Structure 1
Amino acid sequence: MAYWLMKTEPDECGIDDFAKAPDKPITWDGVRNYQARNFIKEMAVGDEVFIYHSSCKHIGIAGIVKVVKAAYPDPAQFNPKSAYYDEKSSVEKPRWQSVDLSFVRKLPRLIPLDELKALSGLEDLALVKRGSRLSVMPVSNEQRQIILEQVN
């Protein structure tokens, strides 16, 4: 099993959206960065994902979801009415990938970015590095344990 962190704006798709229908997977679409897309391609069913709320009043890790369907072509790239439409992408050669995610749990409290930056052992986590803007990133098992120790 691998571990990941995905950034989202909670008013678009936050941990509460997953919690509302815990048995209904949500398609994670709209990723338009090649490195983030490549990480999505590496995800496997059962992988755990930290949901990180960004661009909002309370920024931080809010909960955990899991991958329930591995990478497949992002359907939004083919829909001209979608904000994520990509005219250069084709069914034969899709450029972008999606995964389906399901709710695992909401954390008892949000772990803010400032707290994450101060934790020893997270220095190599892309999230806390200056200038890192990736929306999808790997989390090592050691980093996962450090993060979970903050709420368990």
Structure 2
Amino acid sequence: MAAFWLMKSEPDECSIDDLARAPGQCVPWIGVRNYQARNFMRDAMRVGDGVLFYHSSCAVPGIAGLAEVASAPHADDSQFDPASPYHDAQSKPDAPRWQCVDVRLVKKTRLLPLTEMRVLPQLATMQVLQRGSRLSITPVTPAEWAAVTALLET
């Protein structure tokens, strides 16, 4: 049974439009440097899981599209690149500290802003809506997924 996730990306780093233009409409989800978010990718995500592609740290944050997990977890190559802002000098190729998955576009949607999500009772417990929630990857319940996808159709 597929699981569901909300994955945050800053649009100037990788937007839903960037994902749509990427080869095969697929990108590696690099740069995650939080152990809990890394563990979600490494231990819990499976190919085919649903993804709410969320634009963060922008004028109007919100869900910008639907995607899916497209690969098993693998080493995030940016950790080994000294020119990358995600370089981790402590991580070694034979024992990578940071993992990622590839994410493939399912469809670009209208932007569903946080303000619209906050008024829906079905989303009251959604982690992205909780005060102080800053994690870049969070699980989404099947009920939350259904509510969000229904909202995106309106």
Shift of 1:121: 1.9
| Partner residue in 1 for 2:65 | 63
Shift of 1:12: 1.2
Deviations for 1:87-124, whole angstroms, at most 9, x for unmatched residues? Answer: 111122211111111111011x2111111122112222
| Partner residue in 1 for 2:40 | 39
| Partner residue in 2 for 1:76 | 78
State the TM-score, normalized to the length of structure 2.
Answer: 0.93
Question: Contact 1:22–1:103 at 8 Å: present in 2 too?
Answer: no
**Letter in structure 1 aligned against 2:60:** H
| Partner residue in 2 for 1:51 | 53
State the TM-score, normalized to the length of structure 1.
Answer: 0.94
In the TM superposition, what are the counterparts of 1:6-17 in structure 2 within 5 Å? Answer: 6-17=7-18
Matched position secondary structure for 1:10: coil
C-alpha separation in 2, matches of 1:126 and 1:35: 14
**Letter in structure 1 aligned against 2:77:** P
C-alpha separation in 2, matches of 1:92 and 1:125: 37
Shift of 1:22: 6.5
C-alpha separation in 2, matches of 1:112 and 1:32: 25
Question: Contact 1:22–1:104 at 8 Å: present in 2 too?
Answer: no
**Letter in structure 1 aligned against 2:53:** I
**Letter in structure 1 aligned against 2:137:** V
| Partner residue in 2 for 1:86 | 88
Shift of 1:19: 1.6
Unaligned runs of 5+ in 1: none
Matched position secondary structure for 1:111: strand
% identical equivalent positions: 49
| Partner residue in 1 for 2:100 | 98
- Aligned-CA RMSD value: 1.3
Matched position secondary structure for 1:89: coil
**Letter in structure 1 aligned against 2:71:** K
| Partner residue in 2 for 1:117 | 118
| Partner residue in 2 for 1:135 | 136
